[in-house]
Chains A and B, each alone.
Chain A
């Protein structure tokens, strides 16, 4: 206790140095907490948007579909897709099981044409799960039998299109012949994902089936779940529901199979984030080493005096460790508080991304928020304390090793 009181008094002897050290610790910890929360939100947001807009949680295709997936073949429908969907919807945790057809298409306003991804879907079913229905900024969402199209606001801007305009849709039928149909623009959406907002058009299933000459067929069954945690158990149940007669013609995959680029991006980002956090911790450690080394260097005579009046080497080491522990503990507390305030603010207000979302291949909202959990506060706290102790340990040991005579002789 006596040493602790001495340590507490000592750190206020050079207020400016202690202040800057505290600031460094506070900022480092606050940044650490903020970035972990921010990064967690980005991943969660990308994953949830990807599953909502693009992949669903589980997909069922024809077993040969994957080999030609890039070509988006429309001549490989899922067998008995309607019956399968109906049976999947009874599985607990399934929000919807809907049919989709993805196909390459050209959209034209009569003057110019644009290559786009066409998606035939079941609007009423997907409204239960996806946020496409909530992202309509003009016009209205599609109804099941609408012979219209939903386009993104970026596509509408590019083509100078508005709700009510007629566009020509050209696609290859399942017989590989071109087919052209008119479609009225029913709604314009803004999802916040460049690839969708700029070059994806959503059609009702009957329209897509007629355009592609697919009768009552679909190339994909998309299943949306309450959350990602139940994917493995639902996968097993879905597998059991597929009749043996068509099992060899179908393949079931979870969303990660269709979002490989995103998963790779996240892995890359995680590595980058780990390096960034390591640098932050290193700055804190070196800051502490620097401060404590300066403190030892300035107080050599004082250390000699303390040793001469009976303080042991261990006590000197402990004194300096206490000093660094007090500074790092105070800094970590302040950092956790500041980080928490920033996270709370960002979680509420968000950071606007402007046009940045168009440039990335990952679905993102218009704003990025923070998703903080207690674990990063606890983790940052422990890391901060460890960084402070590591930073203070080396100068403290050096102080303990000083000889009394040499120390007293120091000018």
Chain B
């Protein structure tokens, strides 16, 4: 048997014996990230969310808002509670965030430095979710946690202007749902951790319904986001994601 035949035989044997491993692991980190996107939200949706800001070990504030979003077009948040925030709207579009307050004619452009509604999420965290654009993802390892396999993907910033220097994602190998996302700063230190859990059937597939964002700076201060309902809505008008519609 020539060297070339030996090599071909080995490949055929490997494919026959470990088909699942071979094919599934040929996914690139970038492809995995695309699948993560799909696993979290449908391309066009309406959902109800609850956000709880744990401001100390004793104090917390709860917000309920509706989210309307079309992938690559925009995201609109409309607050339903508490009473003081009813009607407040946020528009996330083209890496900008705008806020409209009922009774105030012009929407305000917010700084990405600010925290979103005093939560552990910065405005930037809400906008900067296209990891394939700003980061170079690398499949670092496949790890086992509680008997399940997870991809560990390390996304390194393409340039120093990207918010986090490194984002480490632990992603379920079977469902592409992230379990934990760690945000590291330029110095290499971990700044924030987003934990996703409580997987439930939403908009036609299993999705995480609970997200907890923790900041390394404050032990008792964190934010929990709970998706109460989600519906895929293909006919959402694009016109709602404009500043004009925010003024109405």
Residues of A within 8 A of B (CB): 106, 108, 110-113, 168, 170, 172-173, 175-182, 210-211, 213
Additional A-B contacts beyond A110-B216, A180-B217 (10; CB < 8 A): A106-B217, A108-B217, A111-B219, A173-B160, A175-B161, A176-B112, A177-B165, A177-B186, A179-B186, A213-B186
- In the bound assembly, the distance between CA atoms of A112 and B217 in angstroms comes to 6
List, in ascending order, chain A residues with CB within 8 A of B160's CB: 173, 175, 177, 213
Is B187 a contact of A177 with CB atoms below 8 Å?
no
Task: Please give, as numbers and ranges, the residues of chain A lying within 8 Å of B164 by CB-CB distance.
Answer: 177-178
Per-residue A-contact encoding for B75-91, CB less than 8 Å = 1, 0 else: 00000000000000000
Q: How far is the CB of B46 from chain A (nearest CB, A)?
A: 32
| B30: Cβ under 8 A from any A Cβ | no
Cβ contact within 8 Å between A182 and B191: no
> Would you call B185 an interface residue if the criterion is a C-beta within 8 Å of the partner chain's C-beta atoms?
yes
* Known contacts A172-B113, A173-B160, A213-B160, A179 near B217 by CB under 8 Å: no
**Which B-chain residue is minimally distant from A210 (CB atoms)?**
B187
Bitwise, B146-170 to A at CB < 8 A (1) or not (0) is: 0000000000000011111100000
CB neighbours of A210 from chain B (8 A): 187
Q: Bound state CA distance, A180 and B191, in angstroms?
A: 7
CA distance A254 to B223 in the complex (A): 46
Q: Interface residues, chain B, CB within 8 Å of chain A? A: 112-113, 122, 160-165, 185-187, 189-191, 216-220
A110-B185 in contact given A176-B161, A177-B161 (Cβ < 8 Å): no
A111: chain B residues within 8 A (beta carbon): 218-220
Supply 8 A–B pairs (Cβ within 8 Å), ascending by A. A112-B219, A170-B185, A173-B160, A177-B163, A177-B164, A178-B122, A178-B164, A179-B186
Q: Which residues of the partner chain B approach A181 to less than 8 Å between Cβ atoms? A: 185, 187, 189
Task: Find out whether the CB atom of B161 lies under 8 angstroms from the CB atom of A170.
Answer: no
Given contacts A176-B113, A180-B185, contact A108 B218 (CB under 8 A): yes
Compute how far the CA of A380 lies from the CA of B53 in the bound complex, rounded to whole angstroms.
Answer: 64
Q: Which residues of B contact A211 (CB under 8 A)?
A: 187
Whether A113 touches B113, Cβ cut-off 8 Å, given contacts A178-B163, A179-B185, A180-B187, is: no
Asked if residues A113 and B187 are in contact (CB atoms below 8 Å), the reply is no
Nearest to A173 among chain B residues (CB) is B186
Nearest A-chain residue to B57, judged by Cβ: A111
- Whether A180 pairs with B219 at a CB distance below 8 angstroms is no
B23 to chain A, nearest CB (A): 38
Question: What are the residues of chain B within 8 A of A106 when measuring CB–CB?
Answer: 217
Which of the residues A110, A176, A177, A182 comes within 8 Å of B189, measured between beta carbons? A182
User: Across the interface, do B186 and A110 meet the contact criterion of CB distance under 8 Å?
Assistant: no
Cβ contacts under 8 Å, B217 to chain A: 106, 108, 110, 113, 168, 170, 180
Of A170, A177, A182, most B-chain CB atoms within 10 Å: A177
For B122, B162, B186, which residue has the most chain A Cβ atoms within 10 angstroms? B186
In the bound assembly, the distance between CA atoms of A180 and B185 in angstroms comes to 6
Closest residue to B161 on the A side, CB-wise?
A175
Q: Report the minimum CB–CB distance from B161 to chain A (whole Å).
A: 4
Which B residues touch A168, using CB under 8 A? 189, 216-217
Evaluate whether A178 and B191 lie within 8 angstroms (CB atoms) in the complex, with A106-B217, A110-B219, A113-B217 already known: yes
Residue of B nearest to A170 (CB): B217
A173 partner residues in chain B, CB cutoff 8 A: 160, 186
Report the minimum CB–CB distance from B113 to chain A (whole Å): 7
Contact B218 A177, beta carbon cutoff 8 Å: no
How many Å lie between the Cα of A106 and that of B217 in the bound state?
9
